[in-house]
């Protein structure tokens, strides 16, 4: 397990917190709408590369889901 808080920017941590807090997300062009936040695709792909979240399709609709490491980071904050 890596120390994620040292590696992530404030925007990335806020994005993980928003995904943890809000159930409904949708992709809108080149951005994700998570609750009342607009998150760039680059931020999401960076978090996917670091294994903090993954994009999963439920009934053909893409959704962002936190991995166990992402949940530990958000809850431990």
**Prediction pTM value:** 0.85
In angstroms, the CA 42 to CA 39 distance is: 8
Q: Which fold has domain 8-75?
A: Arc Repressor Mutant, subunit A (1.10.10)
Per-residue pLDDT band for 57 (boundaries 50, 70, 90) equals very high
Residue 44: per-residue pLDDT: 95
Residue 3: per-residue pLDDT: 58
- Distances from the Cα of 18 to the Cα of 22, 37, 60, 75, angstroms: 6, 8, 22, 12
* Residues ≥6 apart with Cβ < 8 Å to 24: 35
Model confidence pLDDT, tens digit, residues 7-54:
789 999 999 999 999 988 999 989 999 998 999 999 999 999 999 999
Residue 76: per-residue pLDDT: 85
* Residues ≥6 apart with Cβ < 8 Å to 42: none
Domain boundaries, the chain: 8-75
């Amino acid at each position: 397990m890596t120390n994620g808080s040292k590696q992530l920017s404030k925007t990335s941590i806020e994005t993980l917190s928003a995904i943890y807090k809000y159930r409904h997300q949708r992709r809108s062009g080149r951005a994700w709408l998570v609750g009342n936040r607009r998150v760039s695709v680059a931020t999401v792909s960076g978090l996917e590369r670091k294994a903090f979240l993954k994009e999963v399709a439920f009934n053909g609709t893409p959704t962002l889901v936190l991995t166990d490491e992402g949940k530990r980071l958000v809850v431990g904050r």
